[in-house]
Structure 1
Amino acid sequence: MSDTHSARGWKDAVVYQVYPRSFMDSNGDGTGDLGGIISKLDYLQQLGINLLWLSPVYRSPMDDNGYDISDYEDIAEIFGSMADMERLITEAKARDIHILMDLVVNHTSDEHPWFVDAISSTNSTYRDFYVWRKPATDGGPPNNLRSNFGGSAWTLDKPSGEYYLHQFSTRQPDLNWDNPRVRDEVHAMMNRWLDKGIGGFRMDVIDLIGKEVDQQIMANGKNLHLYLQQMNRATFGKRNSITVGETWSATPEDALLYSAEERKELTMVFQFEHIKLFWDPHQGKWCNQPFDLLRFKAVINKWQTALAHRGWNSLFWSNHDLPRAVSKFGDDGQYRVVSAKMLATALHCLKGTPYIYQGEEIGMTNVHFAHIEDYRDIESLNLYQERIAEGVSHAQMIGGIHANGRDNARTPMQWDSSANAGFTDGQPWIALNPNYEQVNVAAALADPNSVFYHYQQLIALRKQLPLLVHGDFQQVFAEHTKVFAWLRTLEKQTLLVINNFTREHLTLDVPKNLQSLQGRCLISNCAPREQLDAQLELQPYESFAIIFERS
């Protein structure tokens, strides 16, 4: 990586995630591709991001939209070729943007040569690359582990009479990380990608690779951190690389194990505690819960405090698996623009690395398809059929999919108001959000007060102001049910950030130590503020940050 964003200076970087299938189609086949991403690099440079997280583009039968890899060192034809990939790396680097490859090594596709060989014979040299068990005494699965995509996590290989493990689709068999040959092969593959000049990896469900199957411990198995330390030594630890692990199970204590510098594992992890606040404790994300700001604030405060001096936070509202930020945390109707700006300010003014999911910077919203047939996500489709068979109503399931289904984030990027939102000249692989005629990049770029320019300003401030990167975090108005506010402090500078998370006009009593202080408004989604009086009148979704200098 360049000196600007090397291991010594990556903390001021901002990451932008591209879901290639839905970003930009360059050849008219209805599916986004590498050529399309290359054609939009100038747009990403204009936004100001430095790291581009690329969801999987490896060769894949696309049972799970690329998270089922059949060849780690080739590119899926629908996305282009390895030459296109190498061109993307080069063209991005010329704009001071480095690629984070999505690394999916908990499992492979069932079409990967390792599994094809493994399933051919119990004597295969690759048999132990995967997790096999004999049937239970009744002939059924070895235990009652469930797949994250519904049904048993075991599938019977009839010729051998043994079951293989898959924590996701039946076509995504789990790798056996207890086999040192698996680890060696993965490390060698990672090094070959790093040699091509990528900036690092986003590691899919990495907390599952240490699984203890017979104890039914899937996440945080006893060897997990040992395997990550081995990976660090063998691959990215010797380079100026950035790594982020997807860890649905992580607690703050776990996050320190992953990301504390002296442990030599990962740069940071994604935790999802703030996301799961919307999920029913028993029915999961398919039964949506209302937003509770007090609980949300408590979660963010916990993570900001726990990782204040060791480790590092990943900051995000959305990704390819989650609903759109403004639909989930803001208001995607009357207050779409102002609440999208509020969410941007809130995220980028916390301590950690901000992640922007494609379209978030223009305020793209969830989509409400009327028919289950309009959806493409394997998780939504499988769970819909399973729950309907169990007696759950169509209305409840489609409501859960509308609120939290993964296809919300996967509708095509909205570039302009022309046919298919300028995404493709062909038939899109999934239908567009009908609001693309109003919500699109062209409209955002033409409006100096758009969500885009608010994000651009925040990214620029992060690079200019060490306080935003390194400043300590202290929550204020902690018990307020509608306002999330905090202080960031570094040396003689203090930043006050206030966010109204509601569509209400609010009156806030300001503590005496903050009254009448003269500051400079860094950013606001309403009228700029320079000082605070005894009472503060807040507009719906108003958000601002004021910097104070102490002599």
Structure 2
Amino acid sequence: MKRILKYIMAVAATIAVLSSCGGDNKETPDVKVTLSATPTTVTFAPKATGTKIIAVSTTGDWTATPSATWFHLDKTSGKGKGSISVTADENTGSDERTGSIRISVSGAPDVTVSVSQGADNMVPLTATPAAFDGTKRASTTYQLLVYSFADSDGDGIGDFNGISSKLDYLSDVMGVTALWLSPVHPAMSYHGYDVLDYFSLNPEYGTEDDFRNLLAKAKAKGIDIYLDYVLNHAGKDHPWFKDACASEESQYRDYFLFSKTPSADIQAGKLPMFPKNGFDAGQWFAVGGEKVGAKGRFRFDLDWKSDSAPVVTVTETDAAVETGSSKKYIYYGNDDKCRAFVEDGDGKYHIVVDFDSDWGFLIRTSSETWDNGTKYGGKAGDVIAFGEPFTLNNTEAADIVFKEVTYYHSHLWTDWFADFNYGKASEAETSPAFVDLANSADKWIDMGVAGLRLDAVKHIYWSETSSENPTFLDKWYDRCNATYKAAGGEGDIFMVGEVFSDAPATYSYYDGLPSVFEFSFWWGLRDVLNNRRAGKFVADIIGYHDAYKARRSDAVPALKLSNHDEDRAASDLGKNLAKEKQAAAFLLTAGGKPFIYQGEELGYWGTKSKGDEYVRTPMMWTKSNTGLASKRLGSKIDKSMLTASISVESQLADEESLLNVYKTFSALRNTYPALAEGQMSVTSIDDPAIAAWYMTSGSSKLLVIHNVANSDKTIEVDDSMAHCVALLGTAYVDGTSLKLGANSSVVFEL
């Protein structure tokens, strides 16, 4: 009985247990906790710039514990996936230091991230260039404005003797081998680009004997003289042009471009310097300022049934003057009146005005803007008659005139200049203008001038992109070079053309000239320095130079920063001295022929917004600012800039001045053939803030490196850094590592 009772009790207990489990036989699985961190090694440079990020991945709550106090975590705990930002202090010690970060989560093994920081064992660089042996190997040119460079006689105007007195500065400080003088001929304006006599010198600058003296003294210093020559046009008061305007029988009539109907003559091919689409009404001016307008009370009736060919009719009237409010306007008068027409409906308008205009009138559809299509006029040479309907157009849109007139051409859109007529480019050397101008150049070349800078050469023939200008320039160069050689000149005459365009647009001009200004060099460099990114600058410059050489094996790229027609480099760089210094270093370490503009070496600033004079400031030679050649610039001088500290005297005494950067790098260029005459080529250095290239000439090879960032940059260099020959700013080396300070530049001899 007891056994049966025990059995029953056991069964009951089993049933009770099963009931408490709900009848479910399945086991509950264990939950596995995971933890990972990436990366597991973090390394800081000695300066400890930047932040390192560690990615944490886990299913639980985690903690992070640093082992040292020299590095810092932005957080020490988190949940699930997250990240830790790690920063470090600068390591000022001489030894590497290490530490770790332990990341923990309950239920999983810890993860350890190793942290290390190197010691700064970099050695500061010092430059040890070869001693300058007195031979100027470079072909650096100094651009000076005769009227504002140096005054020798106290009349406030720069002159030839003033230049002669500064040859020691130009040779010994600036290290130049040539001077480009602003136009030296008598002219209508202070700047000299509206020449009155190509065979004479401006008497304000001195006599021919003074000029010969300058040539002789400059030659003794190893300095050539280049003249600025204006072949595109003469001043409108030039005796040749005045005589040509006076009579169609003048011997000078063919020297210039005249037409009574220029648009039609161009279309008919009667003016071979123009393509058939080469008419621009804004480039044609009435001879002698002849008045082609009218005066009186006139009624203007406008029939605007067609936007493409509206019609205007002018009649004399005694009716009262009216005021309209439509969106059609008559524009006229010497004071540029703009009057709204009265709207009559059905596309008809009229207005009565007291008309007084020397130049005629135009019809406009806007009183505020001159956007394309808003100006209506006639065809050049067309004359409106009272009572006769006159069809308007908004393509050519020449002034509507009341009498026939003879026009002359000025490609630069000013009546101050009269363009020369050279006829067909293939026969230009036979044109009377070419012959006389070449004869004038012969005089100065025979006297000892060694080169010419040719102004506005892309405007000589109307088309900038055709072969005409290069063909003309080739003929001009050959003529002048023959004269130069006959006069005993050494080698070939130097000649550089101004083509104010991006580099690719200048390629064809090397078919005519050995040198063309590379405006793209400065425009690109300006962007590099201001954006602090080297980008494609080096590749672009090398590409340009290769393209020049493909056109002409003896091509000489003419490099520059700003010039007399542009805002000053210092202004473009925000008057940032570090950038200005580095711009000088770029200019004097690149391939090509550098041109340095008067005052650029002193850090002159100025913009053209209030007048060109503000970028043509006189040289300030002394702290006391005495003898300033300022008269020709009048009041348009920023005197706040001309303090004692910016003077030549002050900057020569200051080893850290901009002037001394120019002096140092000019001497370097004169010392090393690789800089003086070498070719640029790319390096393997690849950093967005670094511009680097090789300069090579024969067995002479240099490595040039510029850091354009506003902070230190450390890069790896494959080449030897054993011999530093130039340094701007700061540089440190440790093995193959080079650390350059902000806006720092270095040159190594290889």
Which structure 2 residue ranges, 5 or more long, are not aligned?
A: 1-134, 272-276, 292-403
Which stretch shows the higher mean deviation, 80-89 or 181-190?
A: 80-89
Pairing 1:326–2:553 present: no
* Residue matched to 2:628: 423
Pairing 1:346–2:586 present: yes
Q: Are the structure 2 counterparts of residues 293 and 154 from structure 1 closer, same or farther at C-alpha, using a change threshold of 3 Å?
A: farther
1:178-189 mapped onto 2 (5 Å cutoff): 178=423, 180-189=431-440
1:103 Cα deviation after fit: 0.7
- The answer to whether the 8 Å contact 1:108/1:173 transfers is yes
2:495 to 233, 239, 243: 243
Note the alpha carbon deviations across 1:224-274, whole angstroms, 9 max, x for none: 23322222332224343211111224744843x544xxx6x4331113234
Q: What amino acid is aligned across from residue 558 of structure 2 in structure 1?
A: S
Which stretch shows the higher mean deviation, 488-497 or 349-358?
A: 488-497
2:455 to 204, 207, 222: 204
Measured in 2, the distance between the counterparts of 1:427 and 1:18 equals 14
Which structure 1 residue ranges, 5 or more long, are not aligned?
A: 1-8, 281-288, 369-379, 381-400
Note the alpha carbon deviations across 1:415-451, whole angstroms, 9 max, x for none: 122146x424979633244232221100112123433
1:86-101 mapped onto 2 (5 Å cutoff): 86-101=212-227
Partner secondary structure for residue 306 of structure 1: helix
Pairing 1:360–2:607 present: no
* Residue matched to 1:268: 515
* Residue matched to 2:652: 445
Q: Are the structure 2 counterparts of residues 91 and 482 from structure 1 closer, same or farther at C-alpha, using a change threshold of 3 Å?
A: same
Q: Are the structure 2 counterparts of residues 65 and 489 from structure 1 closer, same or farther at C-alpha, using a change threshold of 3 Å?
A: closer
Measured in 2, the distance between the counterparts of 1:367 and 1:233 equals 38
Pairing 1:52–2:257 present: no
* Residue matched to 1:520: 723
Partner secondary structure for residue 235 of structure 1: helix
Measured in 2, the distance between the counterparts of 1:536 and 1:93 equals 43
1:152-551 mapped onto 2 (5 Å cutoff): 152-157=282-287, 158=290, 161-168=405-412, 169-178=414-423, 180-209=431-460, 211-212=461-462, 217=463, 219-237=464-482, 238=485, 239-240=489-490, 241-249=493-501, 251-252=503-504, 254-255=506-507, 257-259=508-510, 265-275=512-522, 293-294=534-535, 296-307=537-548, 310=553, 311-328=555-572, 330=573, 332-333=575-576, 336=577, 338-362=578-602, 364-367=603-606, 401=609, 406-419=612-625, 422-424=627-629, 429=634, 430-437=636-643, 438-476=645-683, 480-502=687-709, 504-511=710-717, 513-514=718-719, 517-527=720-730, 531=733, 533=735, 535-548=737-750
Which stretch shows the higher mean deviation, 123-132 or 319-328?
A: 319-328
Which stretch shows the higher mean deviation, 271-280 or 519-528?
A: 271-280
1:129 Cα deviation after fit: 0.8
Please give the TM-score of this superposition, normalised by the length of structure 1.
0.76
Measured in 2, the distance between the counterparts of 1:82 and 1:57 equals 11
Measured in 2, the distance between the counterparts of 1:479 and 1:65 equals 45
Partner secondary structure for residue 87 of structure 1: helix
Measured in 2, the distance between the counterparts of 1:500 and 1:441 equals 28
Structure possessing the higher radius of gyration over alpha carbons: 2
Partner secondary structure for residue 237 of structure 2: coil
Note the alpha carbon deviations across 1:120-145, whole angstroms, 9 max, x for none: 1222221121112224689xx99886
1:320 Cα deviation after fit: 1.3
Pairing 1:42–2:168 present: yes
1:458 Cα deviation after fit: 2.3
Q: What amino acid is aligned across from residue 207 of structure 2 in structure 1?
A: S
1:290 Cα deviation after fit: 7.2
Note the alpha carbon deviations across 1:45-88, whole angstroms, 9 max, x for none: 222211010011210011x6201100012122332232322222
Q: What amino acid is aligned across from residue 332 of structure 1 in structure 2?
A: K
Q: What amino acid is aligned across from residue 510 of structure 1 in structure 2?
A: E
Larger relative CO (CA 8 A, sep 6+): 1 or 2? 1
Q: What amino acid is aligned across from residue 199 of structure 1 in structure 2?
A: A
- The answer to whether the 8 Å contact 1:20/1:79 transfers is yes
1:545 Cα deviation after fit: 0.8
* Residue matched to 1:33: 159
Aligned length: 471
- The answer to whether the 8 Å contact 2:147/2:632 transfers is no
- The answer to whether the 8 Å contact 1:510/1:533 transfers is no
Tell me the percent identity: 29
- The answer to whether the 8 Å contact 1:115/1:126 transfers is yes
Measured in 1, the distance between the counterparts of 2:605 and 2:139 equals 27
1:476 Cα deviation after fit: 4.0
Measured in 1, the distance between the counterparts of 2:233 and 2:526 equals 26
Which stretch shows the higher mean deviation, 173-182 or 195-204?
A: 173-182
Which stretch shows the higher mean deviation, 30-39 or 67-76?
A: 30-39
Q: Are the structure 2 counterparts of residues 426 and 273 from structure 1 closer, same or farther at C-alpha, using a change threshold of 3 Å?
A: closer
Q: What amino acid is aligned across from residue 724 of structure 2 in structure 1?
A: C
1:349 Cα deviation after fit: 1.2
Partner secondary structure for residue 746 of structure 2: strand
Q: Are the structure 2 counterparts of residues 295 and 428 from structure 1 closer, same or farther at C-alpha, using a change threshold of 3 Å?
A: same
Measured in 1, the distance between the counterparts of 2:263 and 2:143 equals 47
Measured in 2, the distance between the counterparts of 1:100 and 1:427 equals 22
Q: Are the structure 2 counterparts of residues 490 and 275 from structure 1 closer, same or farther at C-alpha, using a change threshold of 3 Å?
A: closer
- The answer to whether the 8 Å contact 1:252/1:307 transfers is no
Pairing 1:109–2:235 present: yes
Measured in 2, the distance between the counterparts of 1:230 and 1:472 equals 28
Measured in 1, the distance between the counterparts of 2:590 and 2:549 equals 11
1:487 Cα deviation after fit: 1.8
Please give the TM-score of this superposition, normalised by the length of structure 2.
0.57
Q: What amino acid is aligned across from residue 487 of structure 1 in structure 2?
A: Y
